[in-house]
Structure 1
Amino acid sequence: MKAIQIRELGDDADLLLAEVAEPRPKDDEVLVEVKAVGVNYADLQMRRGRYGGRRPLPYVPGFEAAGVVLQPGRGVTEWLPGRRVMGTVLRETCGCYAERAVMPAWLLLPMPEHFSFAEGAAFPEVFPTAYLALQVFGHVTKGESVLIHAAAGGVGTAAVQVAKAAGAQVFATASSEEKLRRVKELGADVLINYAAQDFVEEIKKKTEGRGVDLVLESVGGEVFEKSLQCLRPTGRLVVYGTSSGQEPSPIQLLDLRQQSISVSGFSFGALSVVRPDVVRQAMQGVTELLRQRKIRPVVGHTFPLAEARAAHNLLGSRGSFGKVVLIP
Structure 2
Amino acid sequence: MYAITINAPGGPEVLTWTEVPDEEPAAGEVLVEVAAGAVNRADLMQRQGFYPPPPGASPYPGLEVSGRIARLGPGVSGWAVGDEVCALLAGGGYAEYVRVPVGQLLPVPRGIGLVESAALPEVATTVWSNVFMVAHLRPGESFLVHGGAGGIGTMAIQLAKAVGARVFTTVGSPEKAAVCRELGADVAIDYRTEDFVARIAEETGGSGVDVILDNMGAKYLARNIDALAVNGRLVIIGMQGGRKAEIDLSALLNKRAAVAATTLRSRPLAEKAAIVAAVREHVWPLIAAGRVRPVVDRIVPMREAADAHRLLESSGHVGKVVLSVGEEPGTTPPGTAAP
Q: Normalized against structure 1, the TM-score is what?
A: 0.93
Q: Distance in 2 between matches of 1:265 and 1:13?
A: 32
Q: Distance in 2 between matches of 1:225 and 1:248?
A: 11
Counterpart code for 2:33: E
User: Cα deviation per residue 1:112-151 (whole Å; 9 max; x = unaligned)?
Assistant: 2421223210001101211112211111111111111111
Q: Distance in 1 between matches of 2:110 and 2:258?
A: 41
Matching of residues 130-149 of structure 1 within 5 Å = 130-149=127-146
Q: Distance in 2 between matches of 1:2 and 1:275?
A: 30
8 Å contact 1:219–1:243 — kept in the other structure? yes
1:256 maps to 2:252: yes
Q: Distance in 2 between matches of 1:49 and 1:186?
A: 34
Match of 1:79 in 2: 79
Q: 2:266 aligns with which of 270, 282, 290?
A: 270
Q: 1:307 aligns with which of 304, 309, 322?
A: 304
Q: Distance in 1 between matches of 2:77 and 2:162?
A: 33
Q: Distance in 2 between matches of 1:22 and 1:257?
A: 55
After superposition, the Cα gap between the structure-2 partners of 1:241 and 1:315, relative to the gap in structure 1 and judged at 3 Å, is: same
SS at match of 2:199: helix
Q: CA deviation at 1:9?
A: 1.5
Q: 1:181 aligns with which of 175, 178, 183?
A: 178
Matching of residues 1-328 of structure 1 within 5 Å = 1-11=1-11, 14-51=14-51, 59-90=59-90, 94-244=91-241, 246-273=242-269, 275-276=271-272, 278-279=274-275, 280-328=277-325
Q: CA deviation at 1:13?
A: 5.9
8 Å contact 1:13–1:48 — kept in the other structure? no
User: Cα deviation per residue 1:287-326 (whole Å; 9 max; x = unaligned)?
Assistant: 3333443211111121111211111111111111100110
SS at match of 1:275: helix
Match of 2:330 in 1: none
Counterpart code for 2:278: Q
Counterpart code for 2:69: V
After superposition, the Cα gap between the structure-2 partners of 1:293 and 1:11, relative to the gap in structure 1 and judged at 3 Å, is: same
After superposition, the Cα gap between the structure-2 partners of 1:32 and 1:277, relative to the gap in structure 1 and judged at 3 Å, is: closer
Bigger CA drift: 289-298 or 107-116? 289-298
Bigger CA drift: 180-189 or 247-256? 247-256
8 Å contact 2:218–2:245 — kept in the other structure? yes
Give unpaired runs (5+ residues) of structure 2.
326-339
Counterpart code for 2:64: E
Counterpart code for 1:31: L
Q: Distance in 2 between matches of 1:60 and 1:201?
A: 43
Counterpart code for 1:36: A
8 Å contact 2:110–2:288 — kept in the other structure? no
Give unpaired runs (5+ residues) of structure 1.
none
Bigger CA drift: 201-210 or 160-169? 201-210
Q: CA deviation at 1:10?
A: 3.0
After superposition, the Cα gap between the structure-2 partners of 1:56 and 1:168, relative to the gap in structure 1 and judged at 3 Å, is: closer
After superposition, the Cα gap between the structure-2 partners of 1:10 and 1:146, relative to the gap in structure 1 and judged at 3 Å, is: same
Match of 2:333 in 1: none
8 Å contact 1:17–1:306 — kept in the other structure? yes
8 Å contact 1:128–1:283 — kept in the other structure? no
Bigger CA drift: 269-278 or 179-188? 269-278
Q: CA deviation at 1:276?
A: 3.5
User: Cα deviation per residue 1:82-101 (whole Å; 9 max; x = unaligned)?
Assistant: 110000122xxx11101111
SS at match of 1:3: strand
Q: Distance in 2 between matches of 1:54 and 1:136?
A: 23
After superposition, the Cα gap between the structure-2 partners of 1:148 and 1:184, relative to the gap in structure 1 and judged at 3 Å, is: same
Q: Distance in 2 between matches of 1:282 and 1:272?
A: 17
Q: Distance in 1 between matches of 2:205 and 2:219?
A: 23
After superposition, the Cα gap between the structure-2 partners of 1:155 and 1:197, relative to the gap in structure 1 and judged at 3 Å, is: same
Q: Once superposed, what is the RMSD of the aligned Cα atoms?
A: 2.1
Q: Distance in 1 between matches of 2:319 and 2:278?
A: 24
8 Å contact 1:43–1:61 — kept in the other structure? yes
Q: Distance in 2 between matches of 1:274 and 1:248?
A: 31
